[in-house]
Amino acid sequence: MRVVAGTAKGTRLARAPEGVRPLSARAREGLFSSLGEVVAGARVLDLYAGTGALGVEALSRGAERATFVDRAPESLRVVRENLDRTGLAGGGRVVRSEALRFVTRTDKDVELYELVFLDPPYSEEASDLERVLVGLTVGRLASPDWAAVLTRGRKSSMPVIPLDWRVARCLEYGDTLVFVYREA
The three-state DSSP-derived secondary structure of 36-67 is HHHCCCCEEEEECCCCCHHHHHHHHCCCCEEE
Q: Does 19 map to a domain? A: no
Q: What is the CATH number of the domain that holds 168?
A: 3.40.50.150
Answer whether residue 23 shows pLDDT above 90.
Answer: no
Contact at 8 Å (CB) between 115 and 63? yes
Q: Does 13 map to a domain? A: no
Neighbour count for residue 36 (Cβ, 10 Å)? 9
> Which of 49, 93, 164 has the alpha carbon at shortest distance from 181?
164
Q: Which domain holds residue 168?
A: 25-183
Answer whether residue 22 shows pLDDT above 90.
Answer: no
The pLDDT tens digits of the residues spanning 118-169 come to: 999 888 888 899 999 988 887 677 766 789 999 998 888 788 888 888 899 9
Tell me, what amino acid is at 44? Answer: V
Answer whether residue 32 shows pLDDT above 90.
Answer: yes
Strand arrangement of the beta sheet that strand 115-118 belongs to: 92-96, 65-70, 43-47, 115-118, 147-153, 176-183, 165-173
Using CA atoms, how far apart are residues 72 and 99, in angstroms rounded to an integer? 11
Per-residue pLDDT, averaged over 24-32, amounts to 90
Task: Give the bridge partners for 96, in sequence order.
Answer: 70
Contact at 8 Å (CB) between 69 and 100? no
Number of domains in the chain: 1
Three-state SS at 100: helix
The pLDDT tens digits of the residues spanning 62-121 come to: 999 999 999 999 999 999 999 999 999 999 999 999 999 999 887 767 788 999 999 998
Q: Where are the alpha helices (DSSP H) in 3-154?
A: 25-35, 53-60, 73-86, 99-104, 126-137
Q: Does 126 map to a domain? A: yes
Q: Does 75 map to a domain? A: yes
Per-residue pLDDT, averaged over 13-40, amounts to 89
> Which of 56, 103, 100 has the alpha carbon at shortest distance from 75?
56
Q: Does 144 map to a domain? A: yes
pLDDT of residue 124: 86
Q: Quick one: CA dihedral 177, 73, 71, 84, positive or negative?
A: negative
pLDDT of residue 175: 87
